[in-house]
A and B are shown apart, each in its own frame.
Chain A
């Protein structure tokens, strides 16, 4: 097993109050697997991903359970040791491609940033690998884009830049936190294709988080349904979609605007 999350619970502490965002979450993933987490907004799916990625401020959250990645419990690592995984073994792309890139840094610098942090490669080699990653992420003219700034790119292109930056070190696991929610439907389909390609070519495992069942169904092999911080149901895509066991999952499937989705109704999480 590449990833084993066991009894993961996350509580946000604000002064005297504490809110449980995720409770007793369990998930196992193999190398190269594509797994989806589905749930409505506030179900704890993003918090799970951010916890796995080590992005939550340790002073503000209480985390219990374990996240074993390639045999190492990430939750027991020091901040510094955790950084060795971030961007190298584990990468993440976010929902907001418009704001997730640094406005004053060139695309090239942002794509190769993980290389600069984690390797001792020279400038030319970094550039070569960045261009390669950009091509892998489906950017058609990496050479020209290398010197551009984010504001010169469309939302879809920025999301591809994010993907390129996440993939530049060929991580074992890519977390995709609603990566297509903010994009329109055609672009959404293209990005999903790109992710599928990457999974096939590079063998990168993908943990795909979405509120959109259709998207998860088309991309993932297994799916976890979450509600209010708890796993409601999990299993293979076929099992969950065609033979849902839980009322909530059924309701979720029923509530989906079947087929009309493609007509352009973009939902927001």
Chain B
């Protein structure tokens, strides 16, 4: 068990390293020099040379990568070309908004989809199940940002439950932040919840058809105790893995939905940095998301092993 985990961990770290190499390479081979976007087109060659040295652009690429990587490990992700401040400092306040949004979205997905999936499977074939299935299929087909716009319209403009655009990083009060973020979180969560409901429903129904369920009934279990004691434990295994893997998509969804609700998070920073060709920032965000992906996959793997005794010790 420990050996397998160590191996998986090593593999994941290797993946992460690979991502940083690829990201670094990608941003190094871009045509056009960041100096021109910083200094403008009419900079003197001397100015450009000085800046290139300042930014370390005169060094060979492997050395630049090494510098970047060792600094990154020390917590220094470089300096933003555009804002002239350390990337870490720039990202920190934005990161909290995005991570809060992603976390809230995740909680919503769990809270929405698990009861609905169970309910739908329990009444499979009935009218409730049909309503859920149709609603599910439709919800799955709505892009995050469209859900966001619809929520803004309904709850922000018509019902006035929140004021669109009123979220700032200066909003210190957590309760207040959450009250605003619940709407973008819903936008991120709804399509993904629909997928989860569908998956859980399918998983429960396929477990219900297994032989061991018949055994459980033969011992005198009631329908609900068969569901809670036998079916769910087995049916949740693939769903938990799916959810853990979905975290990366939730983060990506948050980045898009932030734009809809004007949440000053990583999404806004990423979009503006892409526009400004502010590569150290883009690179740092990419690496951060990569880290989230890697950690989540690792967690998914771990959970899978904990939940399924058949995989223990393998």
Residues of A at under 8 Å CB distance from B?
A: 53, 55, 80, 83-88, 91-92, 94, 96, 99-105, 113-114, 117-118, 149, 151, 162, 165-166
Contact = CB atoms under 8 A, between A and B. Distances in A.
A151 B309 contact: yes
A87 B211 contact: no
A102 B310 CA distance: 11
A99 B219 contact: no
Contact of B310 (A88, A149, A165): A149
A101 to B, nearest CB: 6
Contact of A86 (B212, B218, B234, B310): B218
A169 to B, nearest CB: 9
Given A104-B234, A151-B310, A94 B220 contact: no
B214 A55 contact: yes
Interface residues of B, number: 22
Given A87-B220, A117-B220, A101 B215 contact: yes
Given A104-B307, A151-B309, A165 B214 contact: no
Contacts of B234: 102-104
Given A99-B212, A103-B212, A103-B309, A88 B218 contact: no
Contact of B218 (A92, A102, A151): A92
Majority secondary structure, B binding face: helix
Contacts of A114: 219-220
A242 B149 CA distance: 82
B309 A99 contact: no
Nearest to A101: B212
Question: Which 3 A/B pairs are nearest by Cβ-Cβ distance?
Answer: A87-B219, A86-B220, A87-B220
A24 B9 CA distance: 64
A100 B219 contact: no
Contacts of B312: 149
Interface of B: 210-212, 214-222, 225, 230, 233-234, 237, 307-310, 312
B134 to A, nearest CB: 23
Contacts of A100: 211-212, 214-215
A90 to B, nearest CB: 8
A80 B233 contact: no
Contacts of B219: 86-87, 91, 113-114, 117, 165
Given A99-B211, A151-B310, A105 B230 contact: yes
A104 B309 contact: yes
Nearest to A85: B220
A88 B219 CA distance: 7
A149 B309 contact: yes
A166 B215 CA distance: 9
Contacts of A55: 214, 217-218
Given A53-B218, A114-B219, A103 B211 contact: no
B309 to A, nearest CB: 4
A119 B302 CA distance: 37
A104 B312 CA distance: 11
Given A100-B212, A162-B215, A83 B310 contact: no
Contacts of B309: 103-104, 149, 151
Nearest to B312: A149
Contacts of B222: 80, 83
Contacts of B310: 103, 149, 151
Contacts of A88: 220
Contacts of A104: 233-234, 237, 307-309
Nearest to B212: A102
Contacts of B216: 102, 113
Nearest to B217: A55
Contacts of A92: 218
B25 to A, nearest CB: 45
Nearest to B309: A149
A203 B7 CA distance: 55
A30 B216 CA distance: 27
